[in-house]
Amino acid sequence: MSETPVVRLEKQGPIGVIIVNYPPVNALGPGVSDGIIDCLNQANADPAITAMVLIGDGRSFIAGADIRGFGTGRKRPPLGERTYDVLDRSPKPVVAAIHGYALGGGLENAMACHYRIAVPSAKVGLPEVLIGILPGGGGTQRLPRLVGAEAALDLIVSGRHVPAPEAKALGILDEVLPAGENLRDAAVIFALKMADIRPLPRVRDRTVTAEPALFEAKRKQIARRARNQRAPYACIEAVEAACTLPFDEGLAREQALFAELENADEAKALRYAFFAEREVAKLPDLPTDIQAYDFRKPAVIGAGTMGGGIAMSFADFGYDVKIMDASQDALDRGMARIRSNYATSVKRGSLAQAEMDQRLARIHPVPGYDDIKDADIVVEAVFERMDVKKPIFARLDEVLGPDAFLFSNTSALDMDELASVTRRPDKVAGTHFFSPANVMKLLEVVRPAKASPQTLVTAMAMGRRIGKISAMAGNTDGFVANRSRAPFNSEMVILLEEGCLPEQVDRVMVDFGYPMGPFAVGDLAGLDIGAEGRKRRAAANPNYRKLPIADKLVEMGRYGQKTGAGWYRYETGDRTPHPDPEVAAIIKQVAAEMGVAQKTFTDTDILQRLLFASVNEACRILEEGKAYRASDIDVMWLHGFGFPRYRGGLMFWADGIGVRAVYNQIAAWHQEYGDRWAPSRLLRDLAESGTAFRDAKPAPFA
């Protein structure tokens, strides 16, 4: 029996229905574009067919191009021979019938059709900028002709997905069907109505104009967000071409810009990040048939900043969640903070008042353990101390049903020790949310020795179900994210001892692409938090490298924004960091007391001192089997620490410099600074073998 073709033509009366069947999401993979063209030619050659419908089987219309093909040198059809061009010049009308997603090349094919209809739940968009390129199938030329230059700029430069009702209002869609109506049948009826209408409404025949000021304003608007990136600006140039050039010349300009972007470092890094985010969900040493528990009754212990944010994360994704704290006063403060966070989103326009009310109604404050005894998943989010967490875990173990899972939001504590106070260590795992928990995308799932495969799979799935990117980490001090970041945090303060100032370091990292510098971030998080971790590590390790400048600020009560002073000074009601001469004096005083010689640093010196320290530690993590892949560490840095996405991630960036060059510099600093810069064994092995960081083979997960 022959295989089902990826595209097939069926007849429904006088309408030819062209069906794309390339699971799981009908990407434009091998054979799809050629199949659409073949079916289109068959239908146009058949006198019994008066019009056509282009539709997708399964979950989507056409979800976009197959990203794996970008940057491979594959040959593309020339202008005039692509599906978009063949659809556009079809002598018989073609109706695009959209469900699921019509993204990238999917929307470009739809816009090349003569009509577009969709179900209410469909979403459309041109998200190519998110992988460092621009729409290369006429999207930058057709979309402005449908919706106008200003709206097209917004959609193409942001890459956002547009719900069907908005797409209809903008002019992308001709019709949105009533909920529940059969898409194929409705599309056939629509095609029958349009079959004899001439001339055919081709998008290419429309005109669009715009004042040059519109494009200059857009460039200024994105200047900070698009720093160091080329693709957003190329998108603006392409839309500008749609307004100033004939259609075919605009297509040629789009193609030239696409060719410029496709193999640039920016696009390579963004494609890498795209695939790394999918790879991180794979747990290669666990049985593939393990199913995540379908939890329905989550609860959160602790109504502080983290607990409240975690409760919001559940509520934001439709879960009713109970939240508990030690006192009614603490619970009331926590709920007030949650309301305030939601109200801020409403004020900014990112959340409707009705949606706020619905989400808030899903969060149920309760006074005691008996009120959560029916919970099937509990996330503990109290103060980061073992002597605080242990009694709570022991009590939860007594109260909850035997099948309930116990998760701890801890950033560094030993999960084996915490699991040991329960009678269900197989159902205990760490779930390290990043602050603010309702905003940050990363969830680090920490794997204690006795956790069952189902517990781990359930914790990973829990993160995905509440909008997070879940990544597995071994049970080691700081786990993977914070442990790999710790040398960065130390080195940035040590640089101050040697002659830097906080504002110099922050400027270098912002120029590199971070949204905020690390000292400003420290003030935002609270310097007392880092001090607590340093005390714990110093107590456990007599050789721990202390940071006297940071400790001095904390001793003075300079905790950051919450006290009006930290590394920077803050005016009342203003979060803008102002360089503080008092901090410069403290740095100078402490450095003199330590007898550290002062020197000047280039921007490259600062950047490499911070990031190479973490690359070396990441190699140690891999050689100890505490992470599955170097790309998992990259995902954690992208979504936990704001590492610039267009640089791919910490390890991908280091690969761009070269393993040997990284090793040589770290070895030189080892000679200059001592043991804290000792090269890891894995780093040395990779340098000697010429193996890239992303191809490193870590030890079995431990």
Q: In 3-state terms, what secondary structure has residue 136? A: coil
The residue annotated as part of the active site, out of 128, 384, 503, 624, is 128
The residue annotated as part of the active site, out of 108, 240, 266, 380, is 108
CB within 8 Å of 627: residues ≥ 6 apart:
472, 473, 474, 480, 618, 621, 633, 698
- Rounded distance between C-alpha atoms, residue 680 and residue 125, angstroms: 45
Are 61 and 55 within 8 A, CB to CB?
Answer: yes
- E strand or H helix that includes residue 520: helix 518-525
Give the bridge partners for 432, in sequence order.
444
Task: Give the chain's end-to-end CA distance (angstroms, integer).
Answer: 47
- E strand or H helix that includes residue 7: strand 7-12
Any idea what the Cα angle at residue 355 is, between residues 353 and 356, rounded to 5°? Answer: 65
Are 473 and 444 within 8 A, CB to CB?
Answer: yes
Give the bridge partners for 323, in sequence order.
300, 365
- Rounded distance between C-alpha atoms, residue 439 and residue 161, angstroms: 19
- Rounded distance between C-alpha atoms, residue 342 and residue 351, angstroms: 8
Are 550 and 516 within 8 A, CB to CB?
Answer: no
- Rounded distance between C-alpha atoms, residue 97 and residue 300, angstroms: 43
The secondary structure of 50-85, three-state, reads: CEEEEEECCCCCECEECHHHCCCCCCCCCCCCCHHH
Give the orientation angle of helix 328-348 with respect to helix 305-316, to 10 degrees.
60
- E strand or H helix that includes residue 123: strand 123-125
Backbone angles phi, psi at 300, to 5 degrees: -125, 130
Among the listed residues 113, 117, 102, 112, the one whose alpha carbon sits nearest the alpha carbon of residue 138: 112
- Rounded distance between C-alpha atoms, residue 163 and residue 120, angstroms: 8
Residue 542 buriedness (CB in 10 A; 0-12 / 13-18 / 19+): exposed
DSSP 8-state assignment for residue 14: T
Active site residue 108: yes
Among the listed residues 231, 207, 236, 239, the one whose alpha carbon sits nearest the alpha carbon of residue 221: 236
Active site residue 216: no
Residue 391 buriedness (CB in 10 A; 0-12 / 13-18 / 19+): exposed
Catalytic residue set: 108, 128
